Structure 1
Amino acid sequence: MPAQSRVPADAVRNVRVGRQGLYDARRRLTAYEVLFHSGESARESTGSGAEVVGERATSQVIASTFGTFGVDRIAGSRPVFIGFTRAFLTGIIPVPVEPAGVVVEIPANMMVDAELLAGVAQLRENGYRVAIVDYRGQPEYSALLDLVDYVKIDLAAHPARRLAELATQVVERGRALIATGIEDESTLERALSLGFGLFQGPLLEKPSVLERRTLTPTQLVCSRLLGELSEDDLDIVRLEPVIGSDPGLALRLLRTANSAASGASRQISSLRQALVIIGPRRLRSWVVLILLEGPSAASPADGLWKVLARACACRGLVRPADADLAFTVGLLSGAADLLGASPLLVAEAAGVTSEVRDALVSGVGGAGVALTAVLAHENDDDAGVGASGLAPYDVSHAYLEALSESLRLVEEITAGGGGG
């Protein structure tokens, strides 16, 4: 394996997401709620106010759940309850994942108005299930109760009589009750007697933290993509090299397309296939989401361009029918170097097909041979290039062209900023 590319310290980071189970009356694990978790306090002043911190925290949770980990790793086949900010709930920003396996939570203290009601109604029409968090019987929530599937009530926040009143209100509207704050057996028994069907709290499970090392998508690439995605005559496949210049974004989109939450049950054989599955609308939502996440690597320089060069060189050494597959194999190989992870782990995390995995790990097939030759060329290993079966001149020529292409693209991105 070649020496790892040098990248900025903020290009690779450890991502954490909190998780807590929801249980049924027989204490069987039924679903998970994902929670914001950071090595830094979410209350830390950023100079932008609490609203921006909330947007960023929510964006990090969504991106981590569906892009970094994949919903299958967080919840298996169980539903995931996840909070969304007002911009997502009202449709200003499209929800970036398909409805399957997702319950959209309306956070506590959300202002209920015609805009929110219309947005929630549209989410339900699109197939999403919706939950109210920390319901306290607010009069303005009356219309909202008719639009949701679940209502969460914190048992510790209400005296017995008030709790019974709230539970009756929800049951009479035909909504499922979720009890939070279950700390002891007596609280659980009280919830059962009031008609609650799902339960959450330290008695059943304390919140836990999942952690994974990931590549940080770059702000400049995402800004450029947002401009490209605003064009009416967009051909989404032409964005492949732009996205390929950012391994962090590419890995996230591969996982998203392959995630159970995206509705794609088949494995992915190329980045281009992933882009077609995701589509322009959802891709635009992902780009906005990444920009909302907050500070990340500022540019794709200092090594990330080498990943794109490797991917382009692999593509240039295979027949046209295998070009997309070879590009993806080179991209995943470079991502593994940047992460300091084995290619097998990266392939499994991305959810690619066995053909991609075998090429990446074992050098099988045309794409595998191309990758073997390109890696040898990067290490100035002429014997290794020859052993691949490809002519050293062809490999050198393909790599020089790929290098030129990657440098030109990076220059366009860094010079163009957010331009389209």
Structure 2
Amino acid sequence: MNNIFIGRQPIYDQDLQVHAYELLYRDSSANAATHTDDDMATAQVVVNAFMDFGLDRIVGDHQAFINMPRSYLVGDLPLPFPPEQVVLEILETTPIDARLIKAVRELAERGFTIALDDFIYHDKLKPLVEISDIIKIDFMQLSPDEIRDHLVILKDHKVKLLAEKLETPGDFKLAADLGFDYFQGFFFCKPNVVESRTITPNRLAILQLLAALQNPDAGIADVEKIISTDVSLSYKVLRYLNSALYSLPRKIESIRHAIVYVGLPTIKNWFSLVALSKIDDKPQELVATALVRARMCELMAPKEKSAEMFFTVGLLSVLDALLDQPMPQIMRQLPLAVETKTALLNHTGPAGHALACVLAYERCEWEKLEAVSRSVDLTKLFVEAVDWANAAVRQLASGEAANG
């Protein structure tokens, strides 16, 4: 199976709200994560794939940052996207000449947002800096002092600054302290662990709730009692189940009715999700990430009866980032099934292997997925998972509004 891999990475504003997504892509037969002019044919295939899937399914109502080969920038190939939907990224490997500068200026005049990727200043870039709206600076490529030097160079230009490849909460703090406007990287999926810091009461309560809820010995009566003690969460779970996400033929009137109708594992997972979404000092995108992982793991389950456990593994894989605690420490406090724990800690067993694939896809480490992609269309599963997660997040937001 010759797949086009398509991934996305959130780009945050200073309030840690999603501003846009960068779309990354690769032909499974290629060896690089992005394409240059040498790959014109492949680039056409990838852009067509974006159009076939629909950008709105992948990025919702956000803008999409897309690495554009020179062929599209200079007009050899037509740009199929409206200006308001995309940010055109010019790669650092793109040859700069008068034709490119003229073409980019015309694109800017047509209303396209222009970004320079992996920016390292040299004189040939000056005309593009003057045209561009956003400058992306790679925090893994430059030292803090080199980054500060670049900020001095750029201070007189009316550009927004985007810090990329932020891998830790410390990287994010540095970028924020330096005055960057946008932030990109996997820092939001990492726990901000501080030695000797105790878990906050809010997070401790959620952890205790998860422990009771995810206990393999918890039966219908136990789960009904746990959920019914929190009227707000009960309301949200019932609202989910009665939404278009499930399209059930009859209305669910009570938690007991819900458990009997859709099953105990499904109720446990949805109530866990609603509980986790109450952690309000973390980016909401972390909940969306949990949903994408959960749904993609579920779609990779070999048998229907194991799908709910696969979903649980994906859902709980963000616990360390949400609770700011190392995963082994969290696992010691949760009475999960052994198979679930080993999947989360070691990525072993069928569910653990599925989670490892999902995490590799999320990080666009597609070289790790070559063998799997021969038998599974991972991009199709990813887009379906994102589509489903977007709908779930909308439902979560509407539940908050209705409950507020």
- Higher radius of gyration, 1 or 2: 1
Q: Higher relative CO (CA 8 A, sep ≥ 6), structure 1 or 2?
A: 1
TM range (shorter): 0.3 to 0.5
TM-score by length of 2: 0.44
TM-score by length of 1: 0.43
